[in-house]
Structures are given as C-alpha cells and as structure tokens.
Amino acid sequence: MQYVNLGRSGLKVSRLCLGTMNFGYVTDVPESFRIMDEAVDNGINFFDTADVYGGPQRPDMEKGFGTSEEIIGRWLEKSGKRNDLVIATKCYQPMGLGPNDRRLSAYHIRKACEDSLRRLKTDHIDLYQMHHIDRFTPWEEIWQAMELLVQQGKIIYVGSSNFAGWNIAAAQGIANCRHFLGLVSEQSLYNLSVRDIELEVIPACRYFGLGILPWSPLAGGLLGGMLKGELGMRRSELKGEAEKIRPQLERYEALCERLGEPPAVVALAWLLHNPDVSSPIIGPSTVAQLKQNLQSLDIKLSDEILRELNDIWPGPGGEAPEAYAW
C-alpha cells in the first residue's frame, strides 16, 4: 500500500479510502466485517463514513440512520484496530425531524459529534467533515464549535464535502483569522465522467493545501463495466443513465479491454494519477469488489492512454478562467 499526506497536514492516509455508505444498507454486517478485515490486511488505514449512512438518506425515513457508524464501531471493538486507523465521518444531513437535527449550527455540530462518537465506540474522530455547505450559519459559529471539539480532544482534523471553490476560500480566510488550522481535505464528486471540480475546486484545494477525496469514483457504477454486465444487480438500475452516454462507454470499455484491465481499475488509476488527489473513496459492497479496486494501485497509465481517456471523457477545458475565457 502507498501512503500520502492528507493535504498539508502531517497525517498519512492510504491511497485508497474505504467508503462505507453501503454498510447496513446494501451490505449486511458479516460481509461488512469481512470487507474491513480485507481492507486492513491490504494496508488501507483510512475509513470514511457519515452519521446518515446506512439507509435511505431522507428525514422522513429515519430507519437506518447511523447504521454504518454502528457497524464500524462494532468491528473496531472486536478487531482492536482503532489506533491503527484514520476514521472519518460527517455531519450536516438531517438526523431527525426536528428543526435543529441538521445543518451546521454549533448546537447540531456538538450533538452530531457526540452521537457519532457513541456509535463508533471511540473517544475521538480523526477527520470530522462538513457534509455540505451551510448557507444559514456564519463561519464564526462553525469554527468556534469545531475549535471546541478539537480542544476537547473529540476531533483532530476538519474537512469539507461538496464545497464550491469560493466556500473553501471563505472558510480558510476566517480560520486563518482565528489562528485555526481550518480545512485539511475536501470530499467532492469526481470521476472520469464528472470533472466539474477541475474548474475551481481543485485549484482552491491546491492553493489552500487541502487533500482531495473523490467520492463516486466509478460514477455510481457506470465506469465499472456497465455494458459488459460486470455490475450484477446495479446494471439494471443504471441502464437508463448508460444509454445517455453509450457511445462514450463503448469507447471506454473497448480501451479497457485493449489494456487488459477491468474498467473499474482504469477509472481508479486515472484518479490516482492526479497529484492533487489524496485518496479516492471506494465503496465496495463485497470483498470481491474490494480486491478488484486494489488492483488500481499497480496500474500506470501512459501519457498516450491518458490523452485517449481525456478524449473519451473531456473535462471542462482546464481551470477557470482559462477554460472559458483567456
């Protein structure tokens, strides 16, 4: 396994992060335990979850909320591996029907953190991430709440997720004024087929020293061998989306076949080739999928292949403003 610093921090994380959104929802407890065992055996030291993971992410369907964290907590207790791992979770999403059961008020951040600690059966969270920008809470309030959690030893680092470039700049500007480290990572939707963050989020992360943690690196499965039926149950769910981009998928899967590599492996290898990317978040629902994802660490893509991938999946044209102006 390869390890890199998470952004400008001194924290070392594995080049692949184990995403656990499927735990307790798509993947049952025994298989979730086997996936975590296999991940650790292969050197993955970085687990990502969220308080809302484990079921339908809707405030009127509370069943499943917190299940992913609970499964991880049970596994940590059983395995004794807590001190070997970087555990990341998130807050913001609705965790109940009350008006203060969501977003990033100091009130909710404190309660959400306490609840996550209890479910994870740990005394601290290594990376506490804001799941979305909160347009209704001032940064002074958010940073005060996060600073207190750091002082109390309940969290170590703070990260963001789904932030725009200017959100990152605003957050860091105020953190700097408070002499606080601020954000060390940004978790964004990023894959071969969805490259919007190349415009402003990646440049902002590079400037402020945030590690990038791409979520949905396989575009929900579309880049995982969709046309050849390598996705099993997910294939029928994605059929409509696949038809919209069938010509690209056909070219992509043909290229992967020529390389002799599974499409999922090539998609992950493309992300790993980007020096701004710290650790793509993989979300295997089986041990077999995890083992395939691990193969991406050994794949080196030539400049020629990278150009071909860029031709199949063109991005926004570079960074802003050159991508659309001069």
Alpha-carbon 113 to chain mean position: 19
The answer for residues whose C-beta is within 8 angstroms of residue 98's C-beta and 6 or more apart is none
pLDDT for 227: 87
Q: Is 324 among the catalytic positions?
A: no
Average pLDDT for residues 75-97, to the nearest whole number?
Answer: 97
**Look-up of token digits 């390890």:** 3
Let me know if 4 is exposed, middle or buried by CB neighbors in 10 A (0-12, 13-18, 19+): middle
| 107: pLDDT strictly greater than 90 | yes
Q: What is the pLDDT of residues 260-285, one digit of tens each?
A: 999 999 999 999 999 999 999 999 99
Taking all residues of the chain, what is their mean pLDDT, rounded to a whole number? Answer: 95
**Number of alpha carbons in the 13 Å side-chain half-sphere of residue 212:** 29
Q: Band the pLDDT of 98: cuts 50, 70, 90.
A: very high
Q: Residue 195: how many CB atoms within 10 A of its CB?
A: 17
Q: How far apart, in whole angstroms, are the C-alpha atoms of residue 139 and residue 307?
A: 41
Average pLDDT for residues 72-94, to the nearest whole number?
Answer: 98
Q: What is the pLDDT of residues 147-193, one digit of tens each?
A: 999 999 999 999 999 999 999 999 999 999 999 999 999 999 999 99
| 142: pLDDT strictly greater than 70 | yes
Q: Band the pLDDT of 235: cuts 50, 70, 90.
A: low
Q: How far apart, in whole angstroms, are the C-alpha atoms of residue 210 and residue 222?
A: 28
Catalytic residue among 53, 92, 157, 190: 53
| 59: pLDDT strictly greater than 70 | no
| 90: pLDDT strictly greater than 60 | yes
Q: How far apart, in whole angstroms, are the C-alpha atoms of residue 298 and residue 315?
A: 25
